[in-house]
Amino acid sequence: MRRRYLINGQTHDVVVTRGVNGGFSILRAGRRIDARAEALSDGRQRLMFDGQAHTVWIAASEKSVFVHSNANGAIEIETVDAAGGAGQARAGASDTLVAPMPGTVIAVPVAEGDRVSVGQPLMVIESMKLETTLAAPREARVKAVHFGVGATFGLKAILVTLQDL
Amino acid sequence: MPVFEKVLIANRGEIALRIHHTLKSMGLRTVLAHHAVDAGSPAALAADETVELHGATPVAAYLDIAQLVEACRRSGAQAVHPGYGFLSENAGFARALEEAGIVFIGPRADTIELMGDKVRARNFVAERGFPVAPGAIEDDDPATFVGRARQLGTPLLIKPSAGGGGKGMRIVRDLAQLESEIATARREGERYFGDGRLFVERYVERPRHIEVQVLGDESGQVVHLWERECSVQRRFQKIIEETPSPALTGKQRHDICEAAAGIARACGYRGAGTVEFIYGAGGEFYFLEMNTRLQVEHPVTEMVTGIDLVREQVRVARGEPLAFAQSDIAQQGHAIECRLYAEDAAHDFRPATGKILRWQAPAGPGVRVDSGVREGQAVTAAFDPMIAKIICHGATRDEAIARSVRALQDTVLLGLTTNARYLARVLQHPEFMEGRADTGMLARCAEELRGAVLEEADTDLAIAAAVLSDRELLRAVRSVPAMHAAMGAWRN
């Protein structure tokens, strides 16, 4: 089985197969890692691979797995669709202004149809009392403004769509 | 002497829970007023009673004075503790409670008003001979404001008269930008405080933020509980606080603490308050503002003095005299507070939201954790992103740092991004370790404070964790016969 993971913005492709002794083999970057997990009574997991044991906390949401080790702290591993998924959204970023955080729209200094230049403010948003101005990534025309003043939106919501001049 | 047995807590999160603990230890009953989104919070679960507040937004509910007065009437609460933030520095709230015959656990309404107006407070302090930075106040003569500001020379700091928390503050280093920066600060002041009036002050280079805890009683007795240094800030907001300040000599500590107590005495301060100062590299210090409430960082003072500040607030509100004189208050050892925030330090501290999947607070000798979250709770964009405060005490500053680093490493919070490791890196940075941090440290040292890139072995560990918790994947892989599985492991 193939999986594509995203860690700190880096994509990692792996192939997972059944291993020996009830474990699993993970092929990544040309190497094979034999891994096995054991649950501890306090809720932690003991991960064993490459002859080493690591005691970690693991928690999973629908899209991500979080792992805490005392050496590294918490790491988020996002599972992305190997066909594109998160990677694709990134590629199209110059056509859409995506919400970097959930929040509320405070001001929209542009209107649909406006011609905007690089760095021109498109939307002012507020999240947790922090105000952020989102600027145009390139010279373009505003195709659509998806949220008006006062509207709230979630993380990665498309706020503004741009089109070529 | 006002007597009360039941106290309503008009706040949420860690501070609501922390206040609840002290009230219970004093034999009082607690009522927590909360919005529906906080119904399952640890504070709501701990309180003896709860009253639900309604509002267009959760924040609006916590700011609704009429509803809170009504909540006191309905629950029979005879006093209110406002915590920090929300209505804690709202004179109208203090007055509304007074009119309803309910004790406000805080200073008198007129003191809140005086200190809430930054310009009036500054004039009050200056007139009584305490140090303020050279400045120009718009209200003195609005027509000449820009000219007077210009005359002070750069660097300048523009501040909203009604401000606080760094909102709307602008540093001007080039006078050509003065007018546009004034316009921006005015807009922000209007938006955040409904008041666009401004004042400017000489900006102190490499400023350090040092504040002094004061405590006054009804009869006018005032003591200080020493200083706290809160210079480690991002976007004008404190993230690490400590006491004693490593910046001060014995004489400076005495002078700054006495100045704070003097200011509190001059305004007849009642209850717990904090006088904030800006401290410059040359040892000069200027009055910044007075916060007429309990501070977020009050636990470091509690750790070194052994005094429970909430307990003293309640005692003063009951009309009791202070239980100690200045000479009884000693600083023992060193304490550091780190604010655990739901934010991504690697991306300009942008707020993070999500569900808390796993929360394991650190513990150990000298470690105190004030938090108000539990597993399964969602951290939303509705409130401030602070999740918990990790406070560590040590016999020396070095020991307090070591214990704090360890505590941050032991802090398990999974489900959303936090600044735990960033805080540990700040504590271990030479500027902080040597006691040289000023309010510009985090911006100046941004590169050095960046987390290391994950090593291959750590990436392996992360991926192994992801694979081993992916039930669907494991089931699919297990269903493949062993021989085919082995074949799959070969390279083409």
DSSP A112-136: TT-EE-TT-EEEEEEETTEEEEEE-
Indicate whether B422 pLDDT > 60.
yes
CATH number at residue B159: 3.30.1490.20
**Contact status of A155 with chain B (Cβ, < 8 Å):** yes
Do the chains contact at B485 and A18, CB–CB below 8 Å? yes
Tally of domains within chain B: 4
With cut-offs at 50, 70 and 90, classify the pLDDT of residue B491. Answer: very low
The reply to whether B468 falls in a domain is yes
**SS3 helix, strand, coil % of chain A, rounded to 5?**
5, 55, 40
Q: For testing the chain B interface, which of A55, A72, A155 should be mutated: the one with the most B CBs within 10 Å?
A: A72
User: Closest Cα of chain A to B452: distance in Å?
Assistant: 9
> In B114-138, which positions are buried (b, 16+ CB within 10 angstroms) versus exposed (e)?
bbbbbbebbbbbeeeebebbebbbb
pLDDT digits (tens, 9 = 90+) for B75-92: 999 999 999 999 999 999
Residue A66's closest chain B neighbor by CA? B414
Phi and psi at residue B347, to the nearest 5°? -125, 60
pLDDT attached to residue B489: 44
**B401-428 mean pLDDT:** 97
- Give the count of alpha carbons within 13 A of B99, CB side only: 11
Residues of A in contact with B352 (CB under 8 A): 101
Judge if B284 and B429 occupy the same domain.
yes
Q: In 3D, which of B226, B209, B211, B221 has the Cα closest to residue B307?
A: B226
pLDDT attached to residue A101: 80
pLDDT digits (tens, 9 = 90+) for B51-63: 999 999 999 999 9
SS3 B272: strand
pLDDT attached to residue B446: 96
Phi and psi at residue B206, to the nearest 5°? 45, 55
Indicate whether B409 pLDDT > 70.
yes
pLDDT attached to residue B232: 98
CATH number at residue B428: 3.30.470.20
Which single residue is written with the structure tokens 């706290």? B228
Residues of B in contact with A128 (CB under 8 A): 351, 381, 383-385
> Which residues are registered as beta bridge partners of A107?
A124
pLDDT digits (tens, 9 = 90+) for B334-362: 999 999 999 999 999 999 999 999 999 99
- Here the tokens at position B288 are 């910044």
Pairing of strands A103-107, A121-127: antiparallel
Q: For testing the chain A interface, which of B425, B468, B471, B472 should be mutated: the one with the most A CBs within 10 Å?
A: B468
pLDDT attached to residue A78: 93
Phi and psi at residue B208, to the nearest 5°? -115, 145
Residue A100's closest chain B neighbor by CA? B350
Contact call for residues B12 and B34 (beta carbons, < 8 A): yes
- State which H helix or E strand residue B92 sits in: helix B91-99
List alpha helices for B200-345, DSSP H: 250-266, 298-305, 309-317
- Give the count of alpha carbons within 13 A of B203, CB side only: 19
- Here the tokens at position B85 are 């933030």
Indicate whether B150 pLDDT > 60.
yes
Number of residues in chain B: 492
The reply to whether B62 falls in a domain is yes
Residues of B in contact with A155 (CB under 8 A): 353
Judge if B231 and B280 occupy the same domain.
yes
Indicate whether A155 pLDDT > 90.
no
pLDDT attached to residue A125: 87
Within 151-170 of B, beta carbons closer than 8 Å to A belong to none
With cut-offs at 50, 70 and 90, classify the pLDDT of residue B488. Answer: very low
Which residue has better confidence, B382 or A89? B382
Q: Percent of chain B having pLDDT more than 70?
A: 97
**Contact status of A133 with chain B (Cβ, < 8 Å):** no
Indicate whether B492 pLDDT > 70.
no
The reply to whether B119 falls in a domain is no
Judge if B192 and B217 occupy the same domain.
no
Judge if B215 and B139 occupy the same domain.
no
With cut-offs at 50, 70 and 90, classify the pLDDT of residue A84. Answer: very low
**B198-205 mean pLDDT:** 91
- Here the tokens at position B2 are 């006002």
pLDDT attached to residue A99: 85
How far apart CA B90 and CA B112 sit, in angstroms, is 7
How far apart CA B106 and CA B91 sit, in angstroms, is 10
How far apart CA A99 and CA A90 sit, in angstroms, is 12
Within 340-359 of B, beta carbons closer than 8 Å to A belong to 346-347, 349-355, 357-358
pLDDT digits (tens, 9 = 90+) for A65-80: 999 998 889 999 999 8
From the DSSP assignment, how many helices (H) and strands (E) are in chain A?
A: 1, 16
Do the chains contact at B477 and A17, CB–CB below 8 Å? yes
Q: Percent of chain B having pLDDT more than 90?
A: 84
Within 289-348 of B, beta carbons closer than 8 Å to A belong to 346-347
Q: In 3D, which of B281, B120, B104, B383 has the Cα closest to residue A130?
A: B383
Compute the mean pLDDT over every residue in chain B, rounded to the nearest whole number.
93
Compute the mean pLDDT over every residue in chain A, rounded to the nearest whole number.
85
Judge if B262 and B219 occupy the same domain.
yes
Q: What is the domain extent for residue B461?
A: 456-488
pLDDT attached to residue A90: 38
Domains of chain A by residue range:
2-80, 92-163
Do the chains contact at B485 and A19, CB–CB below 8 Å? yes
Indicate whether A91 pLDDT > 50.
no
pLDDT digits (tens, 9 = 90+) for B272-311: 999 999 999 889 999 999 999 999 999 999 999 999 999 9
How far apart CA A104 and CA B381 sit, in angstroms, is 9
**Contact status of A5 with chain B (Cβ, < 8 Å):** yes
Judge if B60 and B23 occupy the same domain.
yes
The reply to whether B376 falls in a domain is yes
With cut-offs at 50, 70 and 90, classify the pLDDT of residue A86. Answer: very low
**A90-114 mean pLDDT:** 78
Determine whether domain A92-163 maps to CATH 2.40.50.100. yes
pLDDT attached to residue A151: 86
Judge if B146 and B100 occupy the same domain.
no
Indicate whether A93 pLDDT > 60.
no
Q: What is the distance in angstroms between the CA of the first residue and the CA of the last residue of chain B? A: 86
Domain finish residue from B156, B186, B202: B202
Q: In 3D, which of A119, A121, A116, A110 has the Cα closest to residue A148?
A: A110
Indicate whether B225 pLDDT > 80.
yes
Judge if B261 and B408 occupy the same domain.
yes
The amino acid sitting at B317 is: A
- Here the tokens at position A43 are 């809720």
**Contact status of A77 with chain B (Cβ, < 8 Å):** yes
Residue B479's closest chain A neighbor by CA? A18
Rounded to two decimals, the pTM is 0.85
pLDDT attached to residue B482: 55
Q: In 3D, which of B86, B89, B240, B237 has the Cα closest to residue B166?
A: B237
ipTM of model: 0.84
**Contact status of A105 with chain B (Cβ, < 8 Å):** no
> Which residues are registered as beta bridge partners of B172?
B156
With cut-offs at 50, 70 and 90, classify the pLDDT of residue B45. Answer: very high
pLDDT attached to residue A94: 60
Measure the CA dihedral A44/A68/B420/B36, to 10°: -60
Domain finish residue from B153, B168, B202: B202
Domain finish residue from B164, B184, B202: B202
CATH number of A2-80: 3.30.700.30
**Contact status of B384 with chain A (Cβ, < 8 Å):** yes
Judge if B303 and B339 occupy the same domain.
yes
How far apart CA B183 and CA B209 sit, in angstroms, is 26
